[in-house]
Amino acid sequence: MKITRMLGAALAVTTLTLGAAQAQIKISHQWKANVDGRDRAARVFVKEVQKKDKSLKFRIYPALSLGMKPRAQLDALQNGTLEMAVFPMSYAVGKAPEFSIVIMPGTISSLDHAMRMKGSPFYNKLQEIAEANGIRIISWWWTPGGFATKDREIGGPGTIDGVKIRAADPTFEEMLKAAGASVVSMPSTEIYPSLQSGVIDGALTSAETFVSMRLYEQTRHATVGGDYTLWMLLQPLVMSKQHWDALTPEQKKIFEDAAAKSDEFFLGLQREATDKMATVFTKAGAQVRQLKQDEYDGWVALAKKTSWPAYAAKSPASKELLDLIQQVK
């Protein structure tokens, strides 16, 4: 009887293992397939994984085709009903306010600077907080962005008074409110109809989103590109921690290697993204400009009086992350 039970248990474990190996890994995100860089980089990741382990099956669900709203993907990742997502980390601040660090104005000066963060004490602390919240950061995808508005050119802090604008993060919004803006919180999927209906006058988001979601159709002024980028956001491929933990050590190494390939691909796209945005907006008849140094310096000085202290006060981990991000130059 005991031997029979042991054999039965062994068979059940074997069946579960085989089932896990053959199960489909779902990757959800909110952008257009084969157009937006985040979708394209996700496909690079899948291709690289499957070169080394064909037992891992994937299906990408672009444009919210899995039926989950952008922020709801976090709940699904945490409870394990969703395996992976391309997830703007600022969407998780309702549950983990520490993630506001990945969009903090004045902390990431360039894409090269962002890439130097990988493997740093800052990166390790951020990964620790992610895992404590049920997700594993797989890729290191940073997206530069800028402003676009319907009827006003945005430069320094003095130019945004009275503008109804979306920024993607409550801590970032502290700075905008101090400059006189009226802020409205929403995922990027809601920006287009909100501009169309007049709920907002403008938005801060990634250059990728401005182009792939055709926001140039609803705005007439853009501030993007150049040497000074105020808006930079980590939007990585993440994995449910319980599904990450179920991978073998060999599979985890395959995922990490594939993520490195996707990082390289995505970085190349982002080096061109702000120029592409400027070109597309100009062709659509918009006025396009870059932030000047004094304008950028004005925003950073304001951020250090508003967003930075508000963020550091959220928790000891927030203060530690803010200190760590400043150590990487």
**CATH number for the domain that contains residue 275:** 3.40.190.170
Q: Give the integer Cα–Cα distance in Å for 305 and 307.
A: 7
Query: 44 to each of 32, 62, 262, how far by Cα in Å?
Result: 15, 14, 6
Residue 23 — pLDDT band, cuts 50, 70, 90?
Answer: confident
Q: Which domain holds residue 86?
A: 23-325
Please write the tens of the pLDDT for every residue from 235-248.
999 999 999 999 99
Residue 18, in any domain of the structure: no
Statement: residue 322 has pLDDT above 50: yes
Residue 120 has pLDDT above 70, yes or no: yes
Rounded CA-CA distance 207/222 in Å is 10
Mean pLDDT score, 63-67: 96
Domain membership flag for residue 17: no
Instruction: Answer whether residue 5 is part of any domain.
Output: no
- The answer to whether the beta carbons of residues 133 and 96 sit under 8 Å apart is yes
The pLDDT assigned to 247 comes to 97
Residue 21 has pLDDT above 70, yes or no: no
User: Could you give the angle at which helices 37-52 and 249-283 cross, rounded to 10 degrees?
Assistant: 160
In this structure, is residue 156 part of a structural domain?
yes
Question: Can you give the pLDDT at residue 116?
Answer: 97
303 lies in a domain? yes
Average of per-residue pLDDT across 129-155 = 97
Domain count of the fold of the chain:
1
Position 56 in a domain: yes
Q: What pTM was computed for the model? A: 0.91
> CA-to-CA distance for 201 and 329, rounded, in angstroms?
35
Q: Where are the alpha helices (DSSP H) in 2-80?
A: 2-22, 37-52, 72-79
Contact 150, 201 (CB under 8 A): yes
Reported as a single tens digit per residue, the pLDDT across 287-309 is 999 999 999 999 999 999 999 99
Q: Where are the beta strands (DSSP E) in the chain?
A: 24-28, 57-61, 84-86, 135-137, 142-149, 164-166, 182-183, 202-206, 221-223, 232-234, 237-240, 287-289
Q: Is residue 8 part of a domain?
A: no
- Looking at the domain assignment, is residue 2 inside a domain? no
Which are the contacts of 318, defined by CB distance < 8 A and separation ≥ 6? 97, 98, 100, 101, 311, 312
**pLDDT 10s digits, 266-283:** 999 999 999 999 999 999
Q: Is the pLDDT of residue 6 over 80?
A: no
pLDDT, tens digit (0-9, with 9 covering 90-100), for 70-79? 999 999 999 9
Report residue 249 as tokens.
């050590």
Cα–Cα distance for residue pair 292/290, rounded to 1 Å = 6
Q: How confident is the model at residue 49 (pLDDT cuts 50, 70, 90)?
A: very high
Concatenated DSSP letters for 72-119? HHHHHHHHTS--EEE--GGGGTTT-GGGGGGG-TTT--SHHHHHHTTT
Mean pLDDT value across the chain: 93
Residue 277 has what pLDDT?
97
Strands 232-234 and 142-149: antiparallel
Kindly state the tokens that stand for 55: 């037992």
105/118 Cα distance (integer angstroms): 19
Binned at pLDDT 50, 70 and 90, residue 12 comes out as very low
For residue 19, the model assigns a pLDDT of 41
